[in-house]
Amino acid sequence: MPSVDFHGYDASAGYTYGFCPEMAPDWLDLAATMAGSAPARASGDAPFRYLELGCGQGMGLCLLAAANPQGQFVGVDFLPEHVDHGRAVAQAAGLTNIQFSDGDFVALAQQWPAAFGQFDYVTLHGVYSWITPPVRAALVRCLGQATAPGGLVYIGYNAQPGWLGSVPFRHISRLLKEESDQPSEAVVQASIALFDQLAAGGANSFRILPGLKSRLAAVKRQASNYLIHEYLHEGWHPLWHSEVAKEVADGGLAFVGTASLAETLLPGALPPPLGATIAEQASSVLRMDVQDLVINQSFRRDVFRPASSSASVASDAVLDAMMLRLLKPVDGDSLTIATSFSEITLQAPAYAEIVAALGSGARSMGELLALPAMRKQGRSNALQIIALLLHARIAGIGRSAPASIQTVQGLNQFIANGAARGRRYDHLAAAALGSAVAVTPDDLLLFDAWLAAEGRTDATSLAAACGEGGAPAAGDTAITPERAAVFLDQTLERWRKLGVVA
């Protein structure tokens, strides 16, 4: 059956179940504050309203709703399959602070529903550079109407020039789709086969465009439903920051900064001549586009806010009051962190003190900055180290008081259960973070078996119970008693501290 397109969007397959920590309300407040702008809320415990436009399967929104009972969440998507999944998850998990709406940006822009009102946080991830220009214009009108004064808008999008190597694959895939009556999944596979033939035959493009070969290799590692959403829409169009900034200005929004916290080190972390070339550009959009040229940017996480409130400036006190927690322990004397522009190696005193302090519980940014090694670094360098630890998922934004985990329990049980039955869920809600943590398929399988045994089990029985449920979640090796022991002794302990499990 040929695929069905709405406004040029290929609606033939459901999307993935991803979660992006940069979309959590506390993370967005931190990103705004690090950029010198005020957060959307005065404190992490204050109530708020949060809207996700193009929320996909709704998994990310459910995770945030469970971990932030003080927030009200609304998810909008025009694919019934997506909205139905989000609603089913919310209902099964007993979430009462979330609602899903099967809305289309074009219709919503004509009449923004009075019942929706305005929101402190409006987010869209993987949407803006996938839709046609008229739908983008409608989406910008939605942003203008939906964002409360002082609110923050997050837009995560495919950026240039990092996607230039994908242009041939995208072009031929889309053309194959238009020229054939094959289902979208078959189109993607036919396109991969065609590019394999071209590569094997020594087509000139593979020699001249070095990015083409690595993109093709990446495409082959990805699931069909992801590839359909990535490449087959009429409107697929990676954008430069300047293009997005100019378009959203029509909705009254001004650029605040990046939620990709490692990029707050730029341009200072680049070789001095390149940093100087960026700095000498005459406008903010030119500086950003030249910087993206330097790092070969491929995905941006931009934060905007209504221009009328963009002058509200954050004080050091606001930043110092923000809380952090440890997500995973770190050994050794040095730590290498991969970023979008290079690998950065931190030496032990610079980060070990932070990791050690967070090891005994949540700490405020101010407390971390006051640690001896951090004072030696100076405030600006110390903040960069903390930004890198957040980016590397070694630290997370935290809550000072251990939050009640009532609201996350139902969702996490649902996720473990679904994963054990083959759903590719990969995060659990964490009440102490107001966010979620990444988990492996094996951890979810073990968690499901542990919940089924109501926590009364040992490593040998737990490993055996995982085997009884069918194939291992990862589809490879069976769970051993040693692996189950690590789960019981270490993973559960870490999850308890993060408010994943009671």
Binding to ligand SAM (CB under 6 A) within 42-81 occurs at 54-56, 77-79
Which residue of 38, 40, 127, 446 would you call a contact of ligand SAM, by CB under 6 A? 127
Q: What is the Cβ-side half-sphere exposure of residue 361, based on CA atoms within 13 angstroms?
A: 5
Cβ atoms of residues 109 and 220 within 8 Å: no
Kindly tell me the sign of the dihedral angle through the C-alpha atoms of 438, 439, 441, 445: negative
Work out whether 165 is an interface residue with ligand SAM (CB under 6 A).
Answer: no
Residue whose CB is less far from ligand SAM, 84 or 104: 104
The minimum distance between CB 129 and ligand SAM, in angstroms, equals 9
**Part in contact with ligand SAM (CB under 6 A); list of ranges 35-43, 104-112, 375-383, 401-409:** 104-112
Which residue of 13, 15, 166, 432 would you call a contact of ligand SAM, by CB under 6 A? 15
Query: Which H or E element spans position 148?
Result: strand 147-158
Work out whether 426 is an interface residue with ligand SAM (CB under 6 A).
Answer: no
The minimum distance between CB 266 and ligand SAM, in angstroms, equals 24
Residue whose CB is less far from ligand SAM, 328 or 393: 393
The minimum distance between CB 188 and ligand SAM, in angstroms, equals 14
Question: How far, in Å, are 43, 253, 265, 268, 450 from residue 384 at the CA level?
Answer: 22, 27, 6, 11, 39
Distance between CA atoms of 37 and 256, rounded to whole angstroms? 7
- The one-letter code for the residue type at 386 is I
Distance between CA atoms of 449 and 368, rounded to whole angstroms? 38
Cβ atoms of residues 122 and 151 within 8 Å: yes
Work out whether 126 is an interface residue with ligand SAM (CB under 6 A).
Answer: yes
Residue whose CB is less far from ligand SAM, 56 or 441: 56
Work out whether 116 is an interface residue with ligand SAM (CB under 6 A).
Answer: no
Question: How far, in Å, are 130, 191, 196, 210, 223 from residue 215 at the CA level?
Answer: 18, 13, 12, 9, 14
Residue whose CB is less far from ligand SAM, 101 or 191: 101
Site of tokens 């697929």: 236
Which residue of 27, 48, 121, 130 would you call a contact of ligand SAM, by CB under 6 A? 130
Residue whose CB is less far from ligand SAM, 116 or 495: 116
Which residue of 3, 9, 74, 136 would you call a contact of ligand SAM, by CB under 6 A? 9
Cβ atoms of residues 146 and 138 within 8 Å: no
**DSSP E strands: which ranges in 219-291?**
253-258
Q: How many binding residues for ligand SAM (CB under 6 A)?
A: 21
Cβ atoms of residues 148 and 119 within 8 Å: yes
Cis ω for the linkage preceding 161 (within 30 of 0): yes
Residue whose CB is less far from ligand SAM, 131 or 219: 131
CA dihedral 160, 164, 166, 170 (to 10 degrees): 80
Residue whose CB is less far from ligand SAM, 79 or 403: 79
Residue whose CB is less far from ligand SAM, 71 or 103: 103
The minimum distance between CB 79 and ligand SAM, in angstroms, equals 4
Angle, vertex CA 394, rays to CA 358 and CA 425, nearest 5: 125
With a CB cutoff of 8 Å and minimum separation 6, the contacts of 350 are 373, 377, 385
**Part in contact with ligand SAM (CB under 6 A); list of ranges 120-128, 242-250, 356-364, 377-385:** 120-128
**Part in contact with ligand SAM (CB under 6 A); list of ranges 28-36, 124-132, 289-297, 457-465:** 124-132
**Part in contact with ligand SAM (CB under 6 A); list of ranges 98-106, 167-175, 252-260, 456-464:** 98-106
Q: Distance between the two ends of the chain, CA-based, in angstroms?
A: 48
The minimum distance between CB 61 and ligand SAM, in angstroms, equals 9
Which residue of 87, 136, 229, 483 would you call a contact of ligand SAM, by CB under 6 A? 229
* Strand-pair category, 119-125 with 147-158: parallel
Residue with the shortest CB distance to ligand SAM: 56
Distance between CA atoms of 236 and 290, rounded to whole angstroms? 22
Residue whose CB is less far from ligand SAM, 53 or 350: 53
Residue 359 CB neighbours (<10 A): 13
The minimum distance between CB 37 and ligand SAM, in angstroms, equals 24
Window 314-333: contact mask with ligand SAM (x via CB under 6 A): --------------------
- Residues near ligand SAM (CB under 6 A) are 7, 9, 15, 18, 54-56, 77-79, 82, 104-106, 125-127, 130-131, 135, 229
